Structure 1
Amino acid sequence: MSQTFVFLPPAACAGAQAALTVQRVADGISESLTFSQVLVQLAGNWTLVMPVEAVTACAVNLPTRKARWLRQALPFAVEELLAEDVELMHLALGEQLADGRHRVFAVRRSWLAAWLALCPTAPQAIAVDADLLPGPGTALLPLYGRWLIGGENVTRMAVHAQDWPQLSSLCAHPQIAWCVPQHLVPQPVDECLPVTEPFVWLAQQSLHNNLAQGEFAGHSSKGHWQRWQPLLGLVGLWLVLQWGFNLAQGWHLQHQANEYAAASAALYQKLFPQDSKLVNLRAQFDQHLQTSSGSGQSRLLGLLAQVSGAVAAEGGYVQISQVDFSEARGDLALQVQAAGFAELERLRERLQESGLAVQLGSASREGARVSARVVIGG
């Protein structure tokens, strides 16, 4: 059965709009249609592809491998990495990386729910455009007027071509740019490979991380459920038999676990007396270790990911001409050029709404544009 992909543009970050022009890929053909036109033509399985500007991607250490405990541990593992309250976010657990960490994707729950509310049938998969880029190393692809960055890197983001030279040293090699022949490629890259139809090519890549989880998971049809009923019945019978054994074993282990938990809690409180609330000792302890040995590169990429989303929302009226990052101060200084003072003010408001501390320096007019220095974080 043919799979349909619906790509939302960066403008979709502003909110759900049935009249917004999106890209539909089906049977190897890519076409631009309004979202409402695409919904009328949807049949069978389909995948919603979100712009990376709407998503925060990170990697964290999780204290367990059991599926039901992993989801319970997610909020505590990522809450300090998010600019917004974790309760507002839909968290999706992704693949496990070579260093043992798991990818985690966070998207504002109300924003995603508003887009899905327009759909007569729920997508079977939800993906992020930059996350579809293949490895090894770092992959770059021009899409919707910006360059997607993905591959083996933890970070998934979109940048303007002029920003790539300052990021290339932080990204894994080989660095491969996939683009239409004769397309101007940002440098440096290790290799340029041709792509005739970027949307079609991206839809053909493997989906490693499906964000359709939890409340946004795709629902199977009634017929599919009935086909699995016999197997589920056998599984249920086995679970009942296993339950008796687990109950006896669990009672014995629980007593032992309580003793270990009490000893661990006492040790943790000695090490970190300022933490009055203990929820998940392993996750909180790992977070302290990460904080004490935090990477300036990780903070830089995190700030750039949020800035790129705010700049993309201005639709090309704001451009960044220079980026300076101070690891000692923890701030990111940007030399920004905008069409006018109103665009600079909107950019400042968008960054503040993302939870960032923003200082806007005095602006000056240079020809037809306005230039200002913006300092973020610190």
Structure 2
Amino acid sequence: MSYRLYVRPLAPFADLDHSPDAQLYNWVLHDASGDSQARGTADPRDVIEQTLSQNALENVLLIGLVPGDEALFCVADIPAKQTRFIQQALPYAVEEQIAQDIDSVHLALGSRIEGGFRVAAIDRERMANWIDLFSGWDHLRLDAIFPDAALLPETDGGWSICLDGDNAMLISDRGEWLSIQSRNLAMFGYTMATPPSEEVVAEVPVTIYGTEQELDQQQAAISELRGAGRLRVRLETIELMPLELLAHAHHHHLSEPINLCQGSFGVKTGKASPLRAWKPLIAVACVWFVIQLGVEAGMGYYHQKHADDTREQAMAIYRDTFPNDQRTHAGNVRRVIEGQLRTIGSGGPSADFITLMKYTGDQYAKVPQNQSLTFNSINYSRSRGELVVDIRADSYDRMSALRSGLTQQGLEAQIGSVVNESSGARGRLTVSGG
């Protein structure tokens, strides 16, 4: 079951560098159905962490609420649709609405409304302080930070007000939030009662939330709001602290708050990967694979070098024995030696004219359909030990079969000067002792 912990720090705010344990919080714990399971007022951080520990709750989502006046509501009129282009144009679109250097402001993008995109602007240094305040809690994982007033349930076509001691949180139907002192409610009421010049509105609905005690204490301000003209005021009594109302509205999506944790202040979504439990095993497998790959590569290099050395040694021995043989190389030395051994083993004569003719004639007899294979002329060079035969065949395959047969007998046979004609092919077969 997924739990959410809504935490709202109380003023005065403690110095995190010198007395971090002095900060007090109001908090409420919700289960996945939105029901409150625990709550507290003016508790230090360790009390909240201890409560979670006693209930064996881990990985609870932390929702931090900061004062509404910490973040400014803006509207960015950007025609682009792709998020990348919107983010690039965002600083220029809201620069005139912010009274400080835009480079020192953190901008968080919200949903699109009529007139543009909803934007929350907060000082970067202040945002960094809030991130530090809500980070590193035991049993908790920071999920979002919202301006507290932005979580109020919206009133269609009007305003929502929540009385909070000496202060009041307000939000309009388009998501614009602000925090003011309660004594200024009546004055602000005239602003709410004045619609834009192009609109004709009979009345503006206003919903005021508060405990019975706070509603009684602010009777004078409420009466002035009701007398402001076109305001239709409705009172909603809440039984507990305003934080309960904010958490309830957020869970039931009664408003669209802007999460300040974006961009450089973004946090992980917290969605557990299905491979998370297998990460140690995957890491071990990857390490093993890299090691095995290194071993295989090393063994391959070793065996390849050993084979190259062996071939070099074999060729060195062969050249010592046959210094005049320049045609034999590492690729054919085995075949040449086998042919020579076969010739020696058969007890035949050396590769002179008679021997070469004998083998050539023998292989000629074995060529299929040798009637189409004819010898035009035969020449023999004693100095080179080569038999040169001008041959003609109905196809090159016949000549190739003859050459292959001679090669299998350990002789060196080459076909050169091949000419393809309409009646077949002709070429020159050169045969030597290998």
TM-score range, shorter chain: 0.5 to 0.7
Q: Percent identity?
A: 23
Range 153-162 or range 8-17, more displaced: 8-17
Residue correspondence of structure 1 range 41-60 to structure 2 within 5 A: 43=58, 44-60=60-76
| 1:124 corresponds to | 143
| 1:297 corresponds to | none
Q: Who wins on radius of gyration, i.e. which is larger?
A: 2
The root-mean-square deviation of aligned C-alpha atoms, in Å, is: 2.7
Question: How many pairs were matched up?
Answer: 227
| SS of match in other structure, 1:45 | strand
Instruction: Tell me if the contact between 1:30 and 1:199 (Cα under 8 Å) persists in the aligned partners.
Output: no
| 2:87 corresponds to | 71
| 1:210 corresponds to | 259
Deviations 1:153-172 (A, max 9, x none): 55421122221122113227
Decide whether aligned partners of structure 1 residues 93 and 22 sit closer, same or farther in structure 2, where only a CA change above 3 A counts: same
- Once residues 36 and 113 of structure 1 are traced to their aligned partners in structure 2, the CA distance between those partners, rounded to angstroms, is 22
| SS of match in other structure, 2:267 | coil
Find 1:180's aligned residue among 211, 221, 232.
211
Letter in 2 for 1:145: D
Instruction: Tell me if the contact between 2:150 and 2:175 (Cα under 8 Å) persists in the aligned partners.
Output: no
Instruction: Tell me if the contact between 1:10 and 1:144 (Cα under 8 Å) persists in the aligned partners.
Output: no
* Structure 2 spans left out of the alignment, 5+ residues: 31-35, 53-57, 194-203, 227-232, 277-434
Letter in 2 for 1:31: G
| Alignment of 1:139 onto 2:140 | no
Instruction: Tell me if the contact between 1:138 and 1:153 (Cα under 8 Å) persists in the aligned partners.
Output: no
| Alignment of 1:196 onto 2:253 | no
Decide whether aligned partners of structure 1 residues 82 and 15 sit closer, same or farther in structure 2, where only a CA change above 3 A counts: farther
| 1:113 corresponds to | 128
Q: CA deviation at 1:54?
A: 1.1
Deviations 1:7-49 (A, max 9, x none): 1235349877442211111142431212454466664211011
Instruction: Tell me if the contact between 1:180 and 1:194 (Cα under 8 Å) persists in the aligned partners.
Output: yes
Find 2:44's aligned residue among 24, 28, 34.
34
TM-score by length of 2: 0.48
- Once residues 113 and 40 of structure 1 are traced to their aligned partners in structure 2, the CA distance between those partners, rounded to angstroms, is 26
Instruction: Tell me if the contact between 1:20 and 1:34 (Cα under 8 Å) persists in the aligned partners.
Output: yes
Runs of 4+ off more than 6 Å = 13-16
Q: CA deviation at 1:142?
A: 1.6
* Structure 1 spans left out of the alignment, 5+ residues: 228-378
| Alignment of 1:152 onto 2:173 | yes
- Once residues 138 and 14 of structure 1 are traced to their aligned partners in structure 2, the CA distance between those partners, rounded to angstroms, is 35
Decide whether aligned partners of structure 1 residues 8 and 2 sit closer, same or farther in structure 2, where only a CA change above 3 A counts: same
TM-score by length of 1: 0.54
- Once residues 272 and 175 of structure 2 are traced to their aligned partners in structure 1, the CA distance between those partners, rounded to angstroms, is 39
Letter in 1 for 2:206: Q
- Once residues 222 and 160 of structure 1 are traced to their aligned partners in structure 2, the CA distance between those partners, rounded to angstroms, is 39
| SS of match in other structure, 2:22 | coil
